[in-house]
Amino acid sequence: MYIVVSHNYGFFSCCSVILHYVAEYCNLYKQMPDKIDSSGSFGWYKPKETDDITYNYFELPNDNVIELTNNISVPFTHFHQYVDYTTLNYDIIVPFVVKYFSPSVQIRQTISEIEHKYNLVNQYDNICVLFYRGNDKSTETKLCSYDMIIEKARIIQSKRPETLFLIQSDETEFIQKITEVFPNSFYFKDEIRHIKSQIDTVDKCMSELNYEFSKKYLAITIIMSKCRYVICGSGNCSLWIMLYRQNANNIIQFRDGIWHINI
């Protein structure tokens, strides 16, 4: 038996929905699906409507069989994007991420190129990510202010004064403000897209660039997962930083008006 998933919204929303249905299938049948057909997903990012681009991003699923027993369920749904990330059961969920969402050769090459361009390889242990997914995300969940992010960044700075801050955002104003406040900050100038704060998304405002930049963004998400600290909000993008990180250690998360601090 196999699963057919058709979901055409944001990139990591598509990933979460695929993982959601894999978990649902495993919980119902207590076995792995023979195949996942996600050719009807990632529609926003396809150069041609008929393309199946899933495996441009990810490796073909490996042959590893994940043991499923009657007394253990796979605790994941699409709505886990909004939970406290320290409560996720990474021991159970991560093997599915490794099996179905390991980066393709092309994405691994992009990661390597960015790492060398920005001299990241030997600096991960000294980097704190300031991740702010703004714009239309405000229609889905409560967002914190820029000043709140700065306040939390200063906590990290007080613990480790040598910390470098990696700025990642789709809001131009956030990038500008953090760059001004923290001289020891940087962002991926050529690899990301951002717009002035509005109820919209870069995927809709710059749709002709979606395929190219979605590959870069997957690479950047994996890069963010490697950094020592992450300060973020809640949503699918933040969730997948955690899933690739395989834990929520050294995370400061804003969730529905509350800060969850795990440092």
Kindly state the percentage of the chain with pLDDT values over 90: 91
Non-local (6+) Cβ contacts of 171 within 8 A are 132, 134, 135, 194, 195, 196, 197
In degrees to the nearest 10, what's the CA dihedral of 255, 236, 243, 129?
Answer: -70
Question: For position 65, what pLDDT does the model report?
Answer: 78
**Contact (Cβ atoms closer than 8 angstroms) between residue 133 and residue 164:** no
**Contact (Cβ atoms closer than 8 angstroms) between residue 230 and residue 131:** yes
Quick one: CA dihedral 133, 138, 140, 142, positive or negative? positive
Kindly state the percentage of the chain with pLDDT values over 70: 100
Question: For position 61, what pLDDT does the model report?
Answer: 92
Residue ranges covered by each domain of the chain: 2-106, 119-262
Question: For position 249, what pLDDT does the model report?
Answer: 98
Question: For position 150, what pLDDT does the model report?
Answer: 98
Closest by alpha carbon to 93, among 251, 199, 244? Answer: 244
Q: Any alpha helices (H) in the chain, and if so which ranges?
A: 11-29, 54-57, 90-101, 105-117, 146-159, 172-181, 202-205, 210-225, 236-245
Fold category of 119-262 in CATH: Rossmann fold (3.40.50)
Give residue for tokens 């021991």: 91
Q: What is the mean pLDDT for each group of 10 consecutive residues in the chain (263 residues)?
A: 93 98 94 93 94 96 80 92 98 96 98 97 96 93 96 97 97 97 96 94 94 98 98 98 98 96 96
Question: For position 71, what pLDDT does the model report?
Answer: 77
Task: In whole angstroms, give the CA distance from residue 55 to residue 76.
Answer: 22
Q: Which residues pair with 103 in a beta bridge?
A: 58
pLDDT tens digits, one per residue of 53-109 = 999 999 999 887 787 877 789 999 999 999 999 999 999 999 999 999 999 999 999
